[in-house]
Amino acid sequence: MTLPTARPAPTALRRVDRAVSEYGDAGSAWLAAMWQADPLADAVVNDPTGRGAARTVRTLMTEGLAAVTDPEPSVGALLEQLTEEPAWLDRDRLDRASDVLVRYSAQWGLVLGAASLLAGADNWIAAKPLLLTGRYGQQPAVRSIEVGSWLSQVVAPGGMAIDAPGFQHTVRVRMIHAHVRKHIRTHAEWDEEAWGVPIPQPYMAFTLAEFGHISLAAMVSLGVRLRDDELADIYHLWRYVGHVIGVDPALNPVDEADQVRIEELYHLTSPGPDQYSQEFCRALTEDYLAPQLATMLRGPARFREDVARRAMYGMSRVFLGDEAADALGVPDGAAKHVVRAVRPVLFGLDQARLRVLGRDRVTARGYAARDVEMARLKAENGMTHDLVDAVPGAVGASG
């Protein structure tokens, strides 16, 4: 894939001149890519054979490559890209990254909500596709568990091997994105001149930073300190996920510096949050994150719920910074100071855990606990599906 020829940036973006003057070619590439989606996946969902190509990809995702015979040309092109292993890929590093992340499943789960998802909500254009498909601000618990279900397959030993569950789930997410684009362009009002294409390459790349640097930086505030080699392996994992999910090599982040630059360009050019972003922030925190934290506390229900809500908003303040938190309507309070104060204590407890149990034992416990927790969350929320494409009538659903 190659980025499209430069054209004027979408008119709703801000500070586009600064993006170019401060970031040079990277800024120009970012703006140009607002007009590029995922040509290979989009070709499948728009294939003239109708549902035939989409059904072939569904077979790939459920039965594996061996079950796909004589694929449509659009599917063949997609499979060629998916199965061609990049020269830079080291699969041992993917497994090492998974082991590191699973040791911190509890902390990672908190920051993915209170930091990563809210950082993404700081841009109403990026959120618009979810709004137009009825998935924005509704059932934040279900949406979060769907993300967790995908991550539990990706972050697993061998999870991203070709035909493995993580690989298949990531292809499913890629196809969901393509179906959402088709739905929006067919059924919804989309101002392309103002907003660019739905789910463009830059916002796909930013999603990798949400799961990568944004969450890792927030975890530091919870006392997690990773070695440089552990961090490098995690960035390697997300680089490969980017390859499978369709991020153009020109934008797919290689390391921490790339992810940081993506975050900076995302926020620099963002038009900011809107009322839906604020409603999403409130719903995610008060309807899902805080109730989950409250289950870990002791005392009367109203006390636990109030403490958990204040704590979650305090964490978001620390993770996002006051300016971004103000824009999202995150309440201010003393809780942010408490979060900062307990960081050294949390770090000490984590180091003691690793010394007493050993990293291998902590890792094994992490995988087991994550599976139990995922089952509990699905049961509590009456979920029988994993990703949204398994929900009848949803955009991207099979059938």
Q: How many residues does the chain have?
A: 399
With a CB cutoff of 8 Å and minimum separation 6, the contacts of 275 are: none
More confident site: 5 or 210: 210
The reply to whether the predicted model has a pTM over 0.85 is: yes
CA distance 171 to 57: 9
CA distance 41 to 79: 10
What are 147-154's contacts with CB under 8 Å, separation 24+?
147/112, 148/109, 148/112, 148/374, 148/377, 149/374, 149/378, 149/386, 149/387, 150/386, 150/387, 151/112, 151/211, 152/370, 152/371, 152/374, 154/98, 154/237, 154/241
Q: What are phi and psi of 181, to 5 degrees?
A: -60, -45
**Residue 55 confidence (pLDDT):** 82
Residues 198-215: what's their mean pLDDT? 98
What are the tens digits of pLDDT across the range 120-135?
999 999 999 888 877 6
Name residue, tokens 């008060």.
286
Residues 153-164: what's their mean pLDDT? 96
**Residue 40 confidence (pLDDT):** 96
Above 60 in pLDDT, residue 399?
no
**Residue 186 confidence (pLDDT):** 84
What are the tens digits of pLDDT across the range 170-183?
999 999 999 999 99
**Residue 2 confidence (pLDDT):** 57
CA distance 375 to 41: 31
The answer to which of 136-145, 149-158, 204-213, 304-313 has the lowest mean pLDDT is 136-145
Above 60 in pLDDT, residue 136?
no
Q: From its phi and psi, is residue 270 left (phi > 0), alpha (psi between -120 and 50) or beta?
A: beta
To the nearest whole percent, how much of the chain has pLDDT over 90?
Answer: 80
**Residue 3 confidence (pLDDT):** 58
CA distance 327 to 329: 6
- Model confidence band, residue 67 (pLDDT cutoffs 50, 70, 90): confident
Residue 154: is it exposed, middle or buried by C-beta count within 10 angstroms (0-12/13-18/19+)? buried
CA distance 346 to 152: 24
Residues 45-68: what's their mean pLDDT? 83
Instruction: Kindly tell me the sign of the dihedral angle through the C-alpha atoms of 367, 370, 372, 375.
Output: negative
Eight-state DSSP code of residue 267: H
**Residue 389 confidence (pLDDT):** 84
Above 60 in pLDDT, residue 340?
yes
**Residue 137 confidence (pLDDT):** 58
What are the tens digits of pLDDT across the range 274-300?
999 999 999 999 999 999 999 889 999
CA distance 359 to 363: 6
**Residue 54 confidence (pLDDT):** 78
What are the tens digits of pLDDT across the range 374-393?
999 999 989 999 888 888 77
**Residue 69 confidence (pLDDT):** 85
CA distance 291 to 305: 6
**Residue 57 confidence (pLDDT):** 84
What are the tens digits of pLDDT across the range 74-94?
999 999 999 999 999 999 999
Above 70 in pLDDT, residue 149?
yes
**Residue 398 confidence (pLDDT):** 57
Residue 340 token pair: 């900062």
**Residue 397 confidence (pLDDT):** 61
**Spatial CA neighbour of 116 closest among 284, 331, 305:** 284
**Residue 223 confidence (pLDDT):** 96
CA distance 137 to 328: 13
Q: In degrees to the nearest 10, what's the CA dihedral of 20, 25, 28, 34?
A: -130
What mean pLDDT value characterizes the chain? 92
CA distance 261 to 152: 27
**Residue 132 confidence (pLDDT):** 84
